[in-house]
Amino acid sequence: MNYRHGGLDISGRVTGKTVTDKTDFANVIDTYLANHWHQEAQSKVNDNVKNLQTMVQANYIVNDSNSLGARYGFTRTPHHERYGIFSSVLSQDGEDIERNESEIVYGEQRGNHSLNVYYNGKVGKWELDFNADGLWNKTTGHTVSDENTWSGVENDIRDVRTENINRNTLLATKLVAGHPFAGGMMYIGGEASVNTSNDVHTDESGFTKTD
């Protein structure tokens, strides 16, 4: 989308996509020393991601000496799920020593906001160049895993539930001002930024052993 009238220029876009990916992996290693060691590993992973991106910006040319504008972007991943199955076997001279099986489900949601504002122009004899940026994002992830390990005598079963919430904020600004001085131009300016981050991790795990 784009709209122009006089010195005003407004544009925007909205895009969305769904991505599905499947990965299969298998590996076999045989080692011959005093004994014959045999290792097998297999994994199957399915990924499904849905993503939405939006952007709108406006620029306005006031006159030959002044212009200003702003740009806002929003990215949202409401659905990202990963499902994986993993297994491995270790044997010595044809006898299993250890077997591992695990099933993992990972879900994630992301949200990102970005904002840019600028002004470039003249106020009286002053030349001004101003720019400000803001970035805000939040990511929430959930993991559920079931792991079963057999070591020849007993099974070790582990159930893990975790949640991770991460928030980040970045604010930055810059201003440069120029003024005629002694037949030339004198420029002064400065820039500043603030960055904050908050990470909350919750782990709820249960361990049980069965013969």
pLDDT along the chain (211 residues), means of 10: 89 93 93 92 93 95 93 92 92 88 90 96 92 95 85 76 90 94 90 92 58 38
* Spatial distance between the Cα atoms of 128 and 131, rounded to a whole number of angstroms: 10
Determine whether 43 is exposed, middle or buried from the number of CB atoms within 10 Å of its CB (0-12, 13-18, 19+).
middle
How much is the pLDDT for 154? Answer: 72
**Complete DSSP assignment for 37-73:** EEEEEEEEEEEEEEEEEEEEEEEEEEETTEEEEEEEE
Of residues 50, 76, 47, 62, the one with CA closest to residue 9: 62
How much is the pLDDT for 205? Answer: 60
* Spatial distance between the Cα atoms of 162 and 202, rounded to a whole number of angstroms: 6
